Structure 1
Amino acid sequence: MRSKTSAELPAGVVLLTDRRVARRPLGEVVAAAVAGGVRWVVLREKDLPRAERAALAVELRAILSEAGGTLIVAGPDPLDGDAVHLPAAGPYPPPRLGLVGRSCHDTVELARISTEDYVTLSPVYPTRTKPGYGPPLLPDGLAALVERSPVPALALGGIETPEQVSAGLRAGATGVAVLGAIMRADDPHEAAATLTEAADKATRQESVTPSTSLSAVAVSPMSTGRRVPAAVPTTGLRPTVPTQGSSLTARSGHGRPQPSTATTGEAQ
């Protein structure tokens, strides 16, 4: 399979959808985000019947196509398209499509990557959806996993501010995946423009010097500020407190319970 060029892979700010937390109809939020600079959108909404989800995919593809953007569908069914983002749990081997991504959380899952084109690495920061999952990677832990990844990686989880976007890119990620920062925003256009501007600026900057501590940059506002060791995770993440809420990505079987599909919370 031909290797993808950088222009063919998700980069910058990648928007994940969740109509249940969006403050406007999903099509309106995506259109505003695209107007704000977003060019990659991952359609989730896995609870919808396939016909409704396929119709939503048609709507979002039309919005993105006008700006030269791309819709990626979460799960193995591309909904008549050619791009999917798969959970860590499977399927293996991945389907042969134009673009295939995979959710990963540790070195064990990264070692299973074969023909996938990119991965997401999470959670970088504590998230509202998964308050008990962790410990969060933080930028140092993210950088360690990026170094071990055989394919380009997106930073995911709790990324809400320009500083966190910059920290993710400085850690070696090619982009950041966000959900609540845009879905919950009163003005999704402004939110998207602010984050994409930060991503563009970080991409243009020279690489940080080795002496710079990435973990000191952009600690999540939801974090207590307690330093978490940045050792590379080798096993799956486990919740430290009971939690409920919708899932950003299906988790692998490495000791992670499957969260409920409750409609509360952000799937990030």
Structure 2
Amino acid sequence: MTGLRQHLRLYLVTDTELCRNHGLVLTAQQAVAGGVTMVQLRAKHATTQERIAMAVALKSALAGTGVPLVVNDDLDAACQADADGAHIGQGDMAPQKARALLGRNKILGLSCETAQTVQAADPIVVDYLGLGPVFGTTTKTDHEAPIGFDGLAQLVALTTLPTVAIGGLKATHQAQVFDSGADGQAVVSAICGHSNPKAAAQLFKHTGATP
């Protein structure tokens, strides 16, 4: 998908609890103003209807920025809100079914934690892979053991798909993320938990290597 590798460069995953000081929409707007290139709505404890409302509000806020919005796990919410796509994990809906629901013109991301799942990902079905966790993180507790940057590089080498590193990453890790071959990094608390989301996002512009 044209431009997707660039969109993955600084990928914000929302956390409604961490975003409570500014609110979900303002946090995302400020983060995009600071350099975020893609936004994922993740609201684990919300209902589908609540996710639809959140996604509609985010889509409206991001209109004209060129920054795609994907919805985590909830294909119904992604479709009903007409988001730019969805992101699923290994324990969620099968990628083929997700693709059938989304259609060909939407983005579909898939989380992969092992060499086996990376190699099993079908480039005809999936548009990008989320690889990790690089580090352990309190924002997502149901993950495998951290793989570190060596493990990340090994997974990146197994696929031709665009990739985004996930798991406990901060601005200081940017050079190592790009050195691993990943196209970008997904962040949660490094931006959502910050008193100034725009300034937090800008740190990623000024830290580490640029590919």
- Matched with 1:119 is 129
Q: CA deviation at 1:193?
A: 0.8
Gap change, CA 1:131 and 1:47, over 3 Å in 2: closer
Pick the aligned partner of 1:11 from 3, 8, 11: 8
**Aligned partner of 1:65: which letter?**
A
Bigger Rg, structure 1 or 2: 1
Instruction: Map 1:65-214; keep pairs closer than 5 Å.
Output: 65-75=63-73, 76-77=75-76, 78=78, 79-92=81-94, 93=96, 94-96=98-100, 97=103, 98-114=106-122, 115-129=125-139, 134-160=144-170, 162-198=171-207, 202-204=209-211
Amino acid at match of 1:8: L
Residues 1:129 and 1:83: Cα distance change in structure 2 (over 3 Å): closer
**Equivalent in 51, 55, 73 of residue 53 of structure 2:** 55
Give me the identity figure in percent: 32
Report the equivalent of 1:24: 22
Q: Deviation of residue 71 (structure 1)? A: 0.4
User: TM-score scaled to structure 1, two decimals?
Assistant: 0.68
Query: Offset at 1:134?
Result: 4.8
Provide the C-alpha distance between the structure 2 equivalents of 1:165 and 1:120, rounded to a whole number of angstroms: 16
Distance 1:44 1:195, change over 3 A: same
Q: Aligned with 1:148: secondary structure?
A: coil
Q: Figure out how many residues of one structure are paired with residues of the other and give that number.
A: 197
Question: Where do 5+ consecutive residues of structure 2 fail to align?
Answer: none
Matched letter for residue 17 of structure 2: R
Counterpart contact for 2:14–2:43, Cα < 8 Å: yes
Looking at structure 1, the residues matched to 12 and 109 of structure 2 have their Cα atoms a distance apart, in angstroms, of: 14
Write 1 or 2 for the structure with the bigger share of helix.
2
Structure 1 residue 64 corresponds to structure 2 residue 62: yes
Separation (CA, whole Å) in 1 of partners of 2:120 and 2:141: 27
| Cα 1:111/1:179, change in 2 over 3 Å | same
The amino acid across from 1:177 in the alignment is: A
Contact 1:11 1:154 in 2 (8 A): yes
What secondary structure, in the 3-state scheme, does the structure 1 residue paired with 2:16 have? coil
Superposition CA RMSD, Å: 1.9
1:137-162 C-alpha deviation (Å, 9 max, x unpaired): 111110001001241110000102x2
Q: 3-state SS of the aligned residue for 1:154?
A: strand
8 Å CA contact 2:113–2:144 kept in 1: the answer is no
Q: CA deviation at 1:82?
A: 3.9
- Long gaps (5+) in structure 1: 205-268
1:51 partner amino acid: Q
Distance 1:111 1:132 in 2: 22
Among residues 36, 39, 43, which one is paired with 1:38 in the alignment? 36
Check conservation: 1:13, 1:196, Cα contact below 8 A: no
Report if the CA contact (8 A) 2:165-2:185 is conserved: yes
Residues 154 and 173 of structure 1 are in contact (CA less than 8 Å); yes or no, is this contact kept in structure 2?
yes
